[in-house]
Amino acid sequence: MWKTMGKAAAAIAAFFLVIFLSRLWGSGFCQWMQREHPSLLYQYASGGKFSGDVYFSEEVLRQTGVPQTLTGISLEKDLIGRAGQISREQWEIAHHLAGNPIYLAHLRQMGTSLSELFSFYERLAGVQDGLIYACRYLLFLMWVVFLHLLMRCRPALYFAMGALCILATCIKLSGKLASVCLFGSSTVNQFLSDGLLPPLLEAMLTFLIFDITIASMEKVRLGHKVESLYRDLPALETLIVHLSGAVEVRGEYRSDFSRLLPNFHDYLSHGKRTRKKALRLMQAIESLGDPHTNRTFLEAAVELRTLLPGK
């Protein structure tokens, strides 16, 4: 019980650590991008049209007569902060800029418009959240792998993935009405429906894809390795039939395993495997080499036979 509670506490602690680190690393990476590679942010926000600020740079403001005191365009703020304020105050800014023919002429000359200006800053304002969500997705992927290694229970993990997928799909298809009904119309609702469920769901689906793919590859590889064992099945069947008539013999003996089932003996000598099915097969093969009576050898042979059904 205490072991299970410890695992649950470790999983919960790792979950909250993911949320904390994703915000820390996402914000830090965004700040680094603003300092070192602002041109990449401009290209992203403008769809590749501009590699610099053609809207509210100091030179543009001076040439067009737009006051730096206008709400939202203060050059003292960082790029992402300025973009967020411009997006929030866009109606006031649009009203002021629409009455400035010099600024409108500048926009036409650059091949853009007021609507593209606000689209540019809306995309720029969402950069930090996007980077936080990307970090959260990667960290949640690591968390799911950690959860799998900690719990070692695929059915429970798959069931949780299915339940989460149902919840996220209902929220998406209902236009977030389901999240309002479940969590209320608060910042908690926005965090859960936009900042938590999508990256967690994507991380779980990514894990599911890789887990199923790796399991399938392992199954095929194991199938190739045990292919030769099927050549020993007729001898194993003969042993089972022979021993079924003499199970009451009490004398103990050690079977000549390499002579009776040479392919099984070769498989055993190649080294142990840790996959669950391979480990069961290896243990069943090993048990045939132990000291036996006819009855125990028959039981071990039948157990081995059940792990390799006839083709």
What is 248-263 written as a DSSP string? T----EE--HHHH-HH
Q: Assess whether 11 and 121 both reside in one domain.
A: yes
All residues at 6 or more sequence positions from 166 whose CB lies less than 8 Å from its CB, including other chains: none
Report yes or no on 166 lying in a domain: no
Domain-ending residue, one of 96, 128, 160 = 128
Contact 292, 252 (CB under 8 A): yes
Q: What is d(CA 130, CA 120) in angstroms, rounded to the nearest whole number?
A: 15
How far does Cα 272 stand from its chain's mean position? Answer: 31
Q: Which residues of 152-169 are buried (b: 16+ CB within 10 A; e: fewer)?
A: eeeeebeeebeeeeebbe
pLDDT digits (tens, 9 = 90+) for 17-42: 999 999 999 999 998 988 888 889 88
pLDDT digits (tens, 9 = 90+) for 191-248: 777 778 888 888 988 998 998 888 888 777 777 777 777 777 777 777 777 777 666 6
What's the number of domains the chain is made of?
Answer: 2
Q: Assess whether 118 and 236 both reside in one domain.
A: no
How confident is the prediction along the chain (311 residues), in pLDDT tens digits per residue?
677 788 888 888 988 899 999 999 999 999 898 888 888 988 988 888 888 888 888 888 888 887 766 766 666 677 888 888 888 888 888 888 888 888 888 888 888 888 888 888 889 888 898 999 999 999 999 999 998 888 877 888 888 888 888 888 887 777 777 777 777 666 667 777 777 888 888 898 899 899 888 888 877 777 777 777 777 777 777 777 777 766 666 666 667 777 777 877 777 777 666 666 677 777 777 777 777 777 777 777 777 777 776 55
Report yes or no on 76 lying in a domain: yes
Report yes or no on 104 lying in a domain: yes
Q: Which residue shows structure tokens 């915000």?
A: 23
Phi/psi of residue 154, nearest 5 degrees: -60, -45
Domain-ending residue, one of 101, 128, 155 = 128
DSSP letter at 194?
I
Report yes or no on 138 lying in a domain: no
Instruction: Give me the pLDDT at residue 66, please.
Output: 77
Where in 152-269 does DSSP place strands (E)?
A: 253-254
Report yes or no on 236 lying in a domain: yes
Where in the chain does DSSP place strands (E)?
A: 253-254, 291-292
Report yes or no on 141 lying in a domain: no
- The one-letter amino acid code at 226 reads V
Instruction: Give pTM, 2 decimals.
Output: 0.71
Q: What is d(CA 85, CA 11) in angstroms, rounded to the nearest whole number?
A: 38
Q: What is d(CA 168, CA 198) in angstroms, rounded to the nearest whole number?
A: 7
Report yes or no on 158 lying in a domain: no
Q: What is d(CA 26, CA 23) in angstroms, rounded to the nearest whole number?
A: 5
User: What is the token pair recorded at 258?
Assistant: 């390499």
Domain-ending residue, one of 89, 109, 128 = 128
Domain range for 282 is: 227-307
- The one-letter amino acid code at 88 reads R
Q: Assess whether 119 and 7 both reside in one domain.
A: yes
Q: What is d(CA 6, CA 155) in angstroms, rounded to the nearest whole number?
A: 20
Q: From 73, 72, 71, select the one nearest 62 (Cα to Cα).
A: 73
Report yes or no on 196 lying in a domain: no
